[in-house]
Chains A and B, each alone.
Chain A
Amino acid sequence: MNVDKCKKSIDGASLQMIDKACADCVGTVWDRFEAQQPQCGFGELGVCCRNCLSGPCRVNPFGEPSAGICGASADTIVARNLLRSVAGGAATHVDHAFEAVEMLEMAAEKSIPYDIKDEAKLRAVAGGLGLETEGKDKFELAKELAKALYSDFAPGKETMDFLKATAPAERVETWRKLGILPKDPDLEIRRIMHETTMGCDADPVNLLLNTAKMGLVDCYSGLKLGTDVQDIVFGTPMPVKTEANLGVLSKDKVNIVIHGHIPFLSEKIVEWARRLEDEAKAAGAAGIQLSGLCCTGNEVLMRQGVASAGNYLSQELAIVTGAVDLMVVDVQCIMPSLAQVAACYHTKLVTTHDIGKIPGAEHVDFRAEHADEDAARIVRMGIAAYKNRNAAKVEIPPQKAEMWGGFSVEAIVTALSKLDAENPLKPLVDNIVAGNVFGAAGIVGCNNPRFPQDSVIVPLAKELLKNNVLIVVTGCVAHALGKAGLMCPEGAEKYAGPGLLAVLRAVGEAAGLGGPLPPVLHMGSCVDNSRIGDLLGALAGYLGVSVSQLPVAASAPELNHEKALSIGTWAVDLGLFTHIGMAPFVLGSPVVTKVLTEDIEGLVGGKFYVEPDPVKAAEAMVAHIRKKREALGI
């Protein structure tokens, strides 16, 4: 295929594997992207509706027809489609978090082979919800906590208790006044499916307000709930050093790649890979090399130091190395094409989740109750597959970079407390006030083949660091910046502006890291965007201001999944200036476009800003931070 290589990726390891895929006659995402060109402009504009059987209808942006058969205008159709997408994103996180609560309950009942690892966080979260924590052992308290968290899924409350307990009070009040506090997540997701069906809501503004509400469902019954419960069960991440890029794959070891989003099985895979090292050696391998992709990769990177093989657009390329013996997947962002790519090599592709099956893959019906047996079986499948590896087909790119992870809020506060034990946030705030740290940016989200892999993410981050903006990351952005060498102490020396570098050195040395703190802090998976929210909430609380007044900005440079839309909506709800590298499918409606990029700022303080050029986006984010600094008088 003829898409220029430079249009595919800026990552040398990816480019090498794209060439290998071509030589091996293996089709990849870029070939399919090219085959889809040009993509339908009605879909791109969001003016195509197929919500009823009179349709499909589409509105002509150049004239007639100006409405669907039912009479829905472009504004209505665009707003309805957006709301369905945002609800799709929220549903993934709510479902994920619900599974986490089920795990917590089963672990508390000791009916599954999982511990309750972070008792302090258990007590903090339970206490925050008003549960009596004194005099109870961790299992008893965890059982009560699970029950309390389940109650957020039941009807009868004004809003979720977990939202009221964890969101900044000023924000809760703002959302209440706007009438966008969600009742319970299942009701809200059900209701928007109803609302957006034929013949219901035609008011774009009402649809957009409910979109804003769905952002709150996403965070407070999804992201935040998932993170906190997973920390309780698996432990809260602390700084850990690892490596990133396809070069982490080993020529001599059994390579098992973990891909997807939910850490329940992957935690056990890590445990069993360590326990079955001898079986791998007996099979002639030097051991077992684990690596991760996407957010399951981030989960085990954050808590277990497992290396990163790459992000979304690297998933097929990992298999193209010919060195991956087994790839085990759960849910979300898993390309169905993996089965075809794996079939070109010896790689065993294993699906494990009820709602994540792929024709051509082997399915292992993973259950927490027999997690040990399932994980051991999968690792042994990898060892067996190693024996089929064809050395002639193996080519592992040399690229790998040192990458640090594990920067939970707890870890950041611990590091800062070495400078001021009484008031850990004070050194950070003092340096923001002094201007050494100009501000902070959260860069999150996906890869998207519309952009060369990482080509917006990396220059944007470098530009912000030059301007002394501290960066926190999650998701596929973390893998991108890890691969690019921005997430290690050396990255600070190389890319941070002088003011920021001095602060990173001071914190790094005080925390005993043996060098500066990385300038880009890995806060985890997509659900761990809640950690960024927690950090902002803590800073706003310390300063006694609203989150929307902080000198910070958010960005999803290469957004792709519906999850990015729901997370972005929550970021705007929180009051953040939220950069996105492309417009979602809304440009067919001038009303929706204007509300999202202008009017919503007057309601919640945040708004969307669209800019595909990384340098221009960085300028706009810096200008926004400057405006917020001036408003605070700093």
Chain B
Amino acid sequence: MKKVLTEVSKCLGCHSCENACAAVHSEAASFLGAVLAGEKPRSAVRVLAGTGGAKLPLRCQHCAVPACVDVCPTGAMQKDAVTGAVFCDAEQCVGCLLCVDACPFTAIVEDGGKPFKCDLCHDREGGPACAAACPTGALRFGEAEQGAVSAMEREILDILKGAK
């Protein structure tokens, strides 16, 4: 399956991914349109400052074994068998937010009482907007490595733990 791959050493912290994500998820569906309309669209990717100057574009990894799906009591949080995308069915979601706490990447946040996370831009031509906007290839839409937790995911978790 394809997902957004992260190469941390290439991230320059320009925040282009954040802007692109927010823009495609805005009512206006464009960056300038959202700015002009005074919208405050949320981004499902956030660029964090890691230790030692690392810049980390943090987003849902659409895990092979997603903790958020495991913990969800209603089955709202699901993993698409075909695309591999982890998504939340808003109709089934009761807003318990257990998924927010369960995510090891802190990639799910609360928004208006419901979880808010990356939807892998499921209906977007050209794939996820964050990867398309990344000027250095730190985020790239490509074929994922097999295994429960990939080396890339481990690297991100290490930075999050401050181990790096």
- 1/0 per position for B121-148, CB-CB distance to A under 8 A? 0000000000000011100000000000
Picked from A38, A61, A63, the residue with its CB within 8 Å of the CB of B55 is A38
Query: Is A460's CB within 8 Å of the partner chain B?
Result: no
Q: Which residues of chain B come closer than 8 Å to A63, judged between CB atoms?
A: 136-137
Determine whether A45 belongs to the interface, using a CB cutoff of 8 Å to chain B. yes
**Contact A62 B47, CB 8 Å, known A40-B13, A41-B55, A45-B12:** no
Interface residue? B96 (CB, 8 A): no
Q: Give which listed residue, B10, B12, B137, contacts A40 with CB less than 8 A.
A: B12
A38-B47, A38-B49, A38-B55 known; A60-B136 Cβ under 8 A: yes
Considering the complex, give the chain B residue whose CB is closest to the CB of A48: B14
* Residue interface bits A107-136, CB-to-B below 8 A is 1, else 0: 000000000000000000000000000000
Interface of B is mostly: loop
CB proximity to B under 8 Å, residues A457-503: none
User: Which residue in A37, A40, A62 is a CB contact (below 8 Å) of B14?
Assistant: A40
CB atoms of B136 and A40 under 8 A apart = no
Interface residue total, chain A, C-beta cutoff 8 A: 14
Query: Are B136 and A62 neighbours in the complex by a CB distance under 8 Å?
Result: yes
- Asked whether any CB of chain A lies closer than 8 Å to the CB of B79, the reply is no
Chain A nearest CB: distance from B113 CB in Å? 25
Kindly state whether residue B29 has any CB partner on chain A within 8 Å: no
A339 CB, min distance to chain B CBs, angstroms:
24
Q: How far is the CA of A60 from the CA of B16 in the complex (A)?
A: 13
Do residues B135 and A60 form an inter-chain contact, with CB atoms below 8 A?
yes
For window 37-75 of B, CB contacts with A under 8 Å fall at: 47-49, 55
The 4 closest A-B pairs by CB, nearest first: A41-B12, A38-B13, A37-B49, A38-B49
Residues of A within 8 A of B114 (CB): none
Task: Collect the chain B residues with CB atoms within 8 Å of residue A44's CB.
Answer: 12
Is A42 engaged at the interface, CB distance under 8 Å to the other chain?
A: yes
Residues on B lying within 8 angstroms of A by beta carbon are: 10-15, 47-49, 55, 135-137
Q: Which residue of B lies closest to A588 (CB)?
A: B12
Chain A contact residues, CB within 8 Å of chain B: 37-42, 44-45, 58, 60-63, 65
Please indicate the chain A residues that have their CB under 8 angstroms from the CB of B14 in the complex: 40-42, 58
Report the bound CA distance from A37 to B13 in whole Å. 8
Alpha-carbon separation in the docked complex, A37 to B52 (Å): 13
Chain B residues with Cβ below 8 Å from A37 are 49
Q: A37-B49, A38-B55, A40-B13 are known contacts; what are 13 more A-B pairs with Cβ within 8 Å?
A: A38-B47, A38-B49, A40-B12, A40-B15, A41-B11, A42-B135, A45-B12, A58-B14, A58-B135, A60-B136, A60-B137, A63-B136, A63-B137
Distance in Å from the Cβ of A491 to the closest Cβ of chain B?
35
Chain A residue contacts of B13, Cβ below 8 A: 38-41
Q: Output the nearest chain A residue to B14 by Cβ-Cβ distance.
A: A40
Some 12 contacts from A to B, beta carbons below 8 A apart, are A38-B13, A38-B55, A40-B14, A40-B15, A41-B11, A41-B55, A42-B135, A45-B12, A60-B135, A61-B12, A62-B137, A63-B137
- Within the complex, the shortest CB–CB distance from B46 to chain A, in Å, comes to 10
Inter-chain contact count A-B, CB under 8 Å? 34
- The CB with the most chain A CB atoms within 10 A, among B14, B15, B47, B49, is that of B14
> With the chains together, A45 CA to B136 CA distance in Å?
13
Q: In chain A, what residue has the closest Cβ to B56?
A: A38
A499 to B136, CA, bound (A): 55
Inter-chain contacts of B10 with A (CB < 8 A)? 62
Complex: how many Å from CA A152 to CA B15? 46
A625–B11 Cα distance when bound, in Å, is 40
User: Roughly how many angstroms separate A41 CA and B48 CA in the complex, as a whole number?
Assistant: 13
A416 → chain B closest CB, angstroms: 46
Cβ-defined contact, A42 with B137, below 8 A: no
Q: How far is the CA of A45 from the CA of B137 in the complex (A)?
A: 17
How far, in whole Å, are A45 and B13 apart by their CA atoms in the complex? 12
Nearest CB in chain A to that of B135: its residue: A60
Asked if residues A38 and B48 are in contact (CB atoms below 8 Å), the reply is: yes
| CA gap between A45 and B135 in the complex, in Å | 14
Return the chain A residue nearest B55 by Cβ. A38
Closest to A43 in B: B14
**CA separation between A38 and B159, bound complex, in Å?**
14
Min CB distance A315 to B, Å, is 25
Set of chain A residues within 8 Å of B11, measured between Cβ atoms: 41
Chain A positions within 8 Å of B49 at CB level? 37-38
Chain B residues with CB under 8 A of A38? 13, 47-49, 55
- Give Cα A45 to B12, complex, Å: 9
Shortest distance in angstroms between A268's beta carbon and chain B's nearest beta carbon?
Answer: 46
In the bound complex, CA of A60 to CA of B15 (Å): 15
**Distance of A39 Cα from B48 Cα, bound (Å):** 10
In the docked arrangement, what's the CA distance between A38 and B12, Å? 9
Listed residue (A41, A42, A45, A63) with the most chain B CB atoms within 10 angstroms of its CB: A41
Q: Give the distance in Å from the alpha carbon of A60 to the alpha carbon of B7 in the complex.
A: 15
Task: Report the bound CA distance from A460 to B85 in whole Å.
Answer: 54
User: Considering the chains assembled together, what is the distance between the CA atoms of A45 and B47 in angstroms?
Assistant: 18
Nearest to A34 among chain B residues (CB) is B49
Chain B residue at minimal CB-CB distance from A47 = B12
Nearest B residue (CB) for A65? B135
CB-CB under 8 A from B15, the residues of chain A are 40
Most buried by A among B47, B48, B135: B135
CB distance from B9 to the nearest CB of A (A): 9
Complex contacts, B55 vs chain A, CB 8 Å? 38, 41
Q: Which residues of B contact A45 (CB under 8 A)?
A: 12
Of listed A42, A61, A65, residue having the most chain B CB within 10 A: A42
What distance in Å separates the Cβ of A65 from its nearest Cβ neighbour in chain B?
8
Chain B residues with CB under 8 Å of A61's CB are 12, 136
A37 CA / B11 CA spacing, docked (Å)? 13
Contacts of A60 in B (CB 8 A): 135-137
Q: How far is the CB of B82 from chain A (nearest CB, A)?
A: 32
CA distance A420 to B2 in the complex (A): 82
Measured in the bound complex, the distance between the Cα atoms of B55 and A41 in whole Å is 9
* Complex-state Cα separation, A63 to B138, whole angstroms: 12
Residues of chain A within 8 A of B12, CB atoms compared: 40-42, 44-45, 61
In the docked arrangement, what's the CA distance between A364 and B10, Å?
Answer: 50
A44 to B136, CA, bound (A): 15
Residues of B contacting A58 with CB < 8 Å? 14, 135
* A63: nearest chain-B partner, CB-CB: B137
Q: How far is the CB of A101 from chain B (nearest CB, A)?
A: 44
Q: How far is the CA of A463 from the CA of B46 in the complex (A)?
A: 42
Which single residue of chain B is at the shortest CB-CB distance from A40?
A: B14
A44 to B137, CA, bound (A): 18
Considering the chains assembled together, what is the distance between the CA atoms of A41 and B49 in angstroms?
A: 12
